[in-house]
Amino acid sequence: MPDTLIKVDLSQSPYENDTIHNRWHPDIPMVATVRPGQDFIIECYDWTGGFIKNNDSAADVRDIDLSIVHFLSGPVGVEGAEPGDLLVVDFLDIGAFPSNAWGFNGFFSKQNGGGFLTDQFPQAQKSIWDFHGLFTTSRHVPGVRFAGLIHPGLIGCLPSHSLLETWNARETALIGTNPTRVPPLANPPFAPTAHLGRLRGEARDAAAATGARTVPPREHGGNCDIKDLSRGARVYFPVYVPGAGLSVGDLHFSQGDGEITFCGAIEMPGWIHLKVELIKDGMAKYGIRNPIFRPSPIKPEYRDYLIFEGISVDESGAQHYLDVTVAYRQACLNAIEYISKFGYTRAQAYAILGVAPVQGHVSGVVDIPNACATLWLPTEIFDFDIRPGAAGPIAGVQPGTDIPIAPDA
C-alpha cells in the first residue's frame, strides 16, 4: 500500500495544515520527498478549503473571499530533479472521500469573479452533485446522469524566481490597462490571505507579498482545468527548481471543456495516487515550454453528440476578428437555448455545460473574419431523448426545480 504523504482533515481549516499552500513561490519548503519510480497518495481539500456547503443556498458562492484559493497540497520534492528536467507523472487513480460523496458547481456573481457567461448569469448560483460510485446526479438538475471524468483542476511544479517575476510582471501590466474593471483582468499577489505552507518568518512574509495567485494556468501547468488530464493520464511537467516541487489540488469529479461556469466543474475534496519519473534535460530534448500529456485508457466514452456551432459575432451582432473565445461563447449560448426547450431553466442548462463531459473544439481559425468553435453535448447523459425530430422538442423534465440563486446583497 503506497504511503499517503499528505493528509487533510476536512473539519480543520486548511490554514492550519502546513502541507497546504495557496500561492506559487519557489521558497515554499517541500513537505515530503520521493524517489523517481515511487508511487504515493496525496489528499486534497476542495479548492475553497471547505467554504462551500452541501445545502440549497448559493449564499456561500456569493460571499466567498476568492483571495483564499486554491488550497494546494504540496510541494512534494523529487530526488534528483533539476531545472530543465521533465517530471513524468502518472495519475494512477483519483477519488472522492467515501464520507464526502458529493461536490458542487457554482456561478460566481459578476461582482465577485464572474464566469464565462457572467453577462447572462450575473448572480451567484449553486448546484450540488451526489456521487453514486462512478456516476453523479443532482437534485438541482434532474434528468441527467453521467460517469465522472475525475481529474485535478490544478497541478504543477514550483516556478523559479525568474519565472515568478515574469508572471507577476506580465499580469501586472495587463491589470494596468484597466485596473478598476469588474471582474478584474487578473489577480495580483495578495498577502493577507496567503498560505505558504511551512515557510516562516521574513521569508514567509516576502513570499506572501510576491507569491503568484493560483488562478490562471501558466507555463508550469497550474490551474489548467483540462478535463482530460484525468485519472489514468501521463503528464510531462517542466521542472524549474531543484527537487521539482509538485503541488496539486482543485479536484473535479467531472467538467466540460472550458469549465465555463468558473466554479466550474463538480468541485470536491479527495485523494490522488501518483507515480513520478524523470526525463533528464527533457525540456531541451523535446522542446517543451508547457506540460504535455497522454490521455487515459479508461475514461467515459460517448459516441453520439449534438454539436453546436458558434462564430465570432457576439450577442449584440458585432463582428470580431478570428476570436475563438467569442465563437465558443456563442456555441455555448446556442446550446443553452436548445437545452432550455426540453424543460430546463437556462441556469440548469448552463450548469450542465459546466459539469458534463462536453467537448469544446476550435473548429476553424483562419476563415476571416469568423472563427468557428463547436460545443459537443453528449446525448447519452440525458434520461430522455434530446435529439431533434419532426415532432419538436418533448420536455424531459418537469418544471419546478431550479438551481438556488443568491442575489447580490
- Which residues within the stretch 50-69 sit at the binding site for its own copies (CB under 8 A)? none
Instruction: Give CA–CA dist 111/184, Å, rounded.
Output: 10
Contacts of 48 (CB under 8 A, 6+ apart): 64, 68, 69, 71, 267
Is the Cβ of residue 193 or residue 290 nearer to its own copies in the bound state? 290
CA distances from 350 to 240, 244, 256, 302 (A): 38, 38, 11, 20
Q: Please, which of residues 266-285 interact with its own copies by CB under 8 A?
A: 273, 275, 277, 279-282, 285
Under 8 Å between Cβ of 217 and 116: no
Q: Please, which of residues 367-386 interact with its own copies by CB under 8 A?
A: 367-374, 379-380, 385
Instruction: Give CA–CA dist 179/185, Å, rounded.
Output: 8
Q: Please, which of residues 165-194 interact with its own copies by CB under 8 A?
A: 166, 170-171, 173-174, 183-187
Is the Cβ of residue 19 or residue 214 nearer to its own copies in the bound state? 214
Rounded to a whole number of angstroms, the minimum distance from the CB of residue 226 to its own copies is 4
- What's the CA angle centered on 2, arms 254 and 93, to 5 degrees? 15
Which of 174, 193, 196, 194 shows the shortest CA–CA distance to 185?
A: 174
Q: Find the binder of its own copies among 39, 60, 82, 402 (CB under 8 A).
A: 39
CA distances from 268 to 158, 192, 334, 399 (A): 23, 25, 29, 28
- E strand or H helix at 346: helix 346-355
Q: Find the binder of its own copies among 12, 54, 55, 325 (CB under 8 A).
A: 325
Rounded to a whole number of angstroms, the minimum distance from the CB of residue 77 to its own copies is 20
Q: Which single residue is written with the C-alpha cell 466567498?
A: 64
* Binding range to its own copies, per CB under 8 A, among 22-30, 75-83, 120-128, 288-296: 288-296
By CB under 8 A, tell whether 216 contacts its own copies.
yes
Rounded to a whole number of angstroms, the minimum distance from the CB of residue 227 to its own copies is 7
Is the Cβ of residue 30 or residue 268 nearer to its own copies in the bound state? 268
* Binding range to its own copies, per CB under 8 A, among 26-34, 76-84, 189-197, 291-299: 291-299
Rounded to a whole number of angstroms, the minimum distance from the CB of residue 29 to its own copies is 26
Is the Cβ of residue 199 or residue 266 nearer to its own copies in the bound state? 266
Q: Please, which of residues 97-156 interact with its own copies by CB under 8 A?
A: 98-99, 101, 115-116, 132-135, 146-147
Which backbone phi and psi does 162 adopt, to 5 degrees? -65, -45
32-34 and 72-78 beta bridge pairing = parallel
Is the Cβ of residue 2 or residue 407 nearer to its own copies in the bound state? 2
Rounded to a whole number of angstroms, the minimum distance from the CB of residue 198 to its own copies is 26
Q: Find the binder of its own copies among 180, 318, 398, 409 (CB under 8 A).
A: 318
Rounded to a whole number of angstroms, the minimum distance from the CB of residue 321 to its own copies is 5
- E strand or H helix at 336: helix 324-339
Is the Cβ of residue 76 or residue 199 nearer to its own copies in the bound state? 76
Rounded to a whole number of angstroms, the minimum distance from the CB of residue 85 to its own copies is 11
Q: Please, which of residues 194-213 interact with its own copies by CB under 8 A?
A: none
* Binding range to its own copies, per CB under 8 A, among 19-27, 121-129, 191-199, 390-398: 390-398
Is the Cβ of residue 195 or residue 218 nearer to its own copies in the bound state? 218
Rounded to a whole number of angstroms, the minimum distance from the CB of residue 238 to its own copies is 11
Instruction: Give CA–CA dist 254/250, Å, rounded.
Output: 12
Rounded to a whole number of angstroms, the minimum distance from the CB of residue 315 to its own copies is 10
By CB under 8 A, tell whether 162 contacts its own copies.
no
Q: Which single residue is written with the C-alpha cell 461582482?
A: 111
Under 8 Å between Cβ of 293 and 230: no
By CB under 8 A, tell whether 399 contacts its own copies.
no
Please count the CA atoms within 13 angstroms of the CA of 21 that sit on its side-chain side: 33
**Around Cβ 105, how many Cβ atoms within 10 Å?**
32
Partner residues linked to 4 by β-bridges: 41
Is the Cβ of residue 7 or residue 200 nearer to its own copies in the bound state? 7
Instruction: Give CA–CA dist 335/160, Å, rounded.
Output: 42
